[in-house]
Amino acid sequence: MTKRKNILGIDVGSIAASIAVIDDSNQIVHTSYTFHKGQIVQSLAKILKEVDLSKIKSVGYTSSTPKILNHGTMSDSRVAHITTAKLLNPGVRALLIIGAEKFGLVTFNKRGEYLNYKPNTSCAAGTGNFLDQQAERLNLKDIKEFSTRALANKEAIPLIASRCAVFAKTDLIHVQQEGYSLEGICDGLCYGLAKNIVDTVFVDNNKTPVVAAGGVALNRAVINHLEKITGRSIIADKNASVYGAIGAALNSKEEDLSTDSEITDANQLITPEKKEKKLYYLPLELKLSDYPDFESLERYEFQSNLFPAMKPVEIDIYLRSTQHDIPVYLGIDIGSTSTKAVLLSRDKKVVTGLYTRTSGQPLRAVQVIFESITDLEKKHGFKFNIVGTGTTGSGRKFVGKILGADLMLDEITAHASAAHELNPNTDTIIEIGGQDSKFTLMNNGMVTFSVMNNICAAGTGNFIEEQAKRLECPLSEYSQRTENAKAPLASDRCTVFMERDLNYYQNEGYEANEILASVLHSIRDNYLSKVATEGLIGKNITFQGATAKNKSLLAAFEQKLQKPITVSKFCHLTGALGTALELNKENSDSTKFRGLDLYKK
């Protein structure tokens, strides 16, 4: 019989699972760390295959680990980290734990006795999740590439607001416009995160060394900034991300598995606990509202030859013309997450709609759209005579000056103009964008009240995208997968609270589609509580923005408001459409537009 002498430690957090094996002399024999993406049982079983379980005599796990193990001794997660820190760093006086959702500083006296623990507030700033979001936003492969680029930076770093994901998004656009490199931007984000940590938990001028643990501790750029800001040495060893698992193993050392409980296979160790689901919301289905088919005469994607790294442009042709020289107004909406354009005929018909991702590069996104229009002309053998050009969105002034725009329109006016044209009876506009949300009231085509929420990422399209990625659901499938789905209740207060609830439901075995549906209810409730004044919502509601293409989100609003809601086939283009309509209204004989060929410059 194989002699059992090793101890296994398991630590499962909100985004990652880790294991550690130690021997009788507390030597670390093996460690493994993986992002579980909500597939906790499968991910844990996979890394346990790396371990010879026949040699394991005891098992320990942290309190953050869901109840999926049928053997082992539980350790408080913080205690587990402390145990490891004291083993690997004798005489440690401070331990900084930086996880995906929370961070905190543990302090000890000269005798190594526990003194205090100062945690972060309920905010994503200063946590791993914040950096993960920024890595995705910058189109980087993963957080490892983000960290590598940040560490490689040799230039001055931009100042990027990192208290909230929304503020960070806005600043990312600005610093990219100012010409900062990707390495500099990544480093600036790492500095912002480090500054948040220091401002929150470092409250004195103590200069004793600090041991860092948690996944973020492996980000050397963050550690370097922490050292510069605090003036303290920050110790982050190669095992920083698996401190919890090591500590769980150490704390279970005295608890031997009995003979009849000996394990040789991961399936003997893991038994997912089956709990009764509590589904709070009714199925997402439309009963009062009409939903468009979003059909066009022709639809295809254009991939830029000049900027192949940019996302493709989605092109919809809605109107064909027998003219060779087609007079059109060009409206462009440069948003934080997407850039849209509409070519509008003189009789106010949408000829073509174009949609692409901004990817933090607003000017380049417009260049790619111009390139796609030029390609469209060549493909169909005609030429657009652009008689007027206007911009709206967060990049309207910057891009507008470069293009020679005739009109640089605020977003409220642009969306209101489109809403009135598409439905003259509109009295309420619900508009949910990538990073902000707007609530507008109208009377006979005139805006009477409008408010924008741009200080919180909750209640925006970005949050939907992030949760879709986390649950590995393509955005194109989101609506279909959540149609008629029931959902558990999740917080609507902010992204942090929402994500905590969603992580909990993942750990409790709820289906991905049920969690995806829960996200939509949270987005709706956040919008209705933080942006809109529900009592002022009228009878003729128009839902605008790309998020309105999500039929299930429309159903969530209808279910709450119990009113029909109008969605146009142009809902994702309404900012650009409204701008083109305002150009049409001015009907000027001349244009300052510098031409589509600008994309080559």
Matching residue, tokens 């027998």: 322
Residue 176 CA from chain centroid, whole number: 19
pLDDT band at 325 (very low <50, low <70, confident <90, very high): confident
Over residues 24-62, the pLDDT tens digits come to 899 999 999 999 877 788 899 999 999 999 899 899 999
Please report, as a single letter, which amino acid is at residue 244. G
Of 387, 390, 386, nearest to 377 by C-alpha is 386
Q: Provide φ and ψ at 95, rounded to 5°.
A: -130, 120
Region 338-342: mean pLDDT is 96
Domains of the chain: 6-87+243-258 (3.30.420.40), 103-241 (3.30.420.40), 277-297+424-567 (3.30.420.40)
Check whether 258 has a pLDDT greater than 80: no
pLDDT value at residue 257: 57
Check whether 474 has a pLDDT greater than 60: yes
Q: Is 291 exposed, middle or buried (0-12, 13-18, 19+ CB in 10 A)?
A: middle
pLDDT value at residue 177: 64
pLDDT value at residue 488: 87
Integer Cα distance of 586 and 388 in angstroms: 9
Of 75, 79, 133, nearest to 101 by C-alpha is 133
pLDDT band at 259 (very low <50, low <70, confident <90, very high): very low
**Cα Rg for the chain, rounded, in angstroms?**
27
pLDDT band at 278 (very low <50, low <70, confident <90, very high): confident
Integer Cα distance of 20 and 83 in angstroms: 14
Percent of the chain with pLDDT over 70: 92
Q: How far is CA 538 from CA 335, 442, 460, in A?
A: 27, 9, 22
Over residues 199-224, the pLDDT tens digits come to 989 988 788 999 999 999 999 999 99
pLDDT value at residue 205: 79
Check whether 23 has a pLDDT greater than 80: yes
pLDDT band at 566 (very low <50, low <70, confident <90, very high): very high
- Global pTM reads 0.68
Check whether 459 has a pLDDT greater than 80: no
Integer Cα distance of 431 and 436 in angstroms: 9
Region 14-21: mean pLDDT is 92
Over residues 81-137, the pLDDT tens digits come to 999 999 999 999 999 999 887 899 999 999 999 999 999 875 555 577 778 878 877
pLDDT value at residue 287: 95
Region 520-544: mean pLDDT is 91
pLDDT band at 167 (very low <50, low <70, confident <90, very high): low
Region 271-295: mean pLDDT is 86
Count Cβ atoms below 10 Å from residue 121 Cβ, excluding itself: 9
